[in-house]
Structure 1
Amino acid sequence: MTSSSSFLTISFRPDLHLLIVRWLRDVTQAELQQGYSATLQAAVQHSATCWLIDSRRRTQSDTAMVQWLANDYLPTLSSQLNNRIVHLACLVAATWQPAETPATPLAVLAQEAPQAGQPFKVQLFGDEGAATQWLQANC
């Protein structure tokens, strides 16, 4: 199963039980919401709680995007996926430096300390293999 638009591709790897989301360019707030809505639909369809989010082609973010993701989207994932913790491996460019380079909304959230009882876990990776290993170890 693969779904795509001009700014996002979503595919499911049944052998790894892994949802792979690749952002293809920087997006607007509306595209961000549309993309993550499509991602959740695919996750529900496949009961996928392990997501590889490839953000390497994105560099832009703003406070509204981060707030929507943190307050409106991520907290609802678990309840829509049989109350399971959702693991999100956020893939950033290997040369990305948090203090020096703009971050995507998910990368911004990955840098914050997790809150107790949070129904999702976000981790940053510069290497897709390491991200996949982390997902497989936690899902």
Structure 2
Amino acid sequence: MPADTPSLTITFRSDLNLLIVRWLRDVSTSELQQGYTEVLQAAIRHQASGWLVDSRRRSQSSTEMVDWLSQEYLPELSPALNNRPVYLACLVAATWQPGTAPATPLAVLAQTSAMASRKEYQVKLFSDEGAATSWLGQADK
């Protein structure tokens, strides 16, 4: 069952055991926190540890957003999902280049190796949805 708000959609694909999160526009810090809270609730409901996070319609970020994701949100994902590692494939625009354009908070974290790969979660950047889905299918084995 999809969950839709003005800023994002959340859909669970049971055939792929995959949570698909599509951000529809740039958001404020409070909208980001509320949205990701809803994503975690959906992940718990479906026991989904593979997430496709489509950030292609977003470009804005802030230190506050990045800090909240890295220090508060991401560390609670695995415990909330029965200590399973969580895999987040972050979709960015094909023309986006790291370091040359604004990035979403998840994309910022994916570029920082210390933050992108921990035993509790992994974040990886993709510009192709098929490649992201394939990685998530392999990662959740």
What TM-score, normalized to structure 1?
Answer: 0.98
* Structure 2 gap segments, 5+ residues each: none
Cα pair 1:75 1:118 within 8 Å, conserved: no
What's the counterpart of residue 123 of structure 1?
124
Runs of 4+ more than 2 Å apart: 114-118
Amino acid at match of 2:37: S
**Equivalent residues in 2 for 1:30-109, closer than 5 Å:** 30-109=30-109
Q: Distance in 2 between matches of 1:46 and 1:5?
A: 19
Kindly state the Cα deviation for residue 23 of structure 1 after the two structures are TM-superposed.
0.1
SS of equivalent residue, structure 2 residue 34:
helix
SS of equivalent residue, structure 1 residue 61:
coil
Amino acid at match of 2:53: I
Amino acid at match of 2:45: Q
**CA 1:81–1:98: 2 relative to 1, 3 Å:** same
What's the counterpart of residue 3 of structure 1?
3
Amino acid at match of 1:81: L
**CA 1:96–1:43: 2 relative to 1, 3 Å:** same
Amino acid at match of 2:8: L
Which is further off, 86-95 or 114-123?
Answer: 114-123
* Structure 1 gap segments, 5+ residues each: none
Q: Percent identity?
A: 62
SS of equivalent residue, structure 1 residue 114:
helix
Q: Distance in 2 between matches of 1:87 and 1:32?
A: 19
What TM-score, normalized to structure 2?
Answer: 0.96
Aligned residues: 139
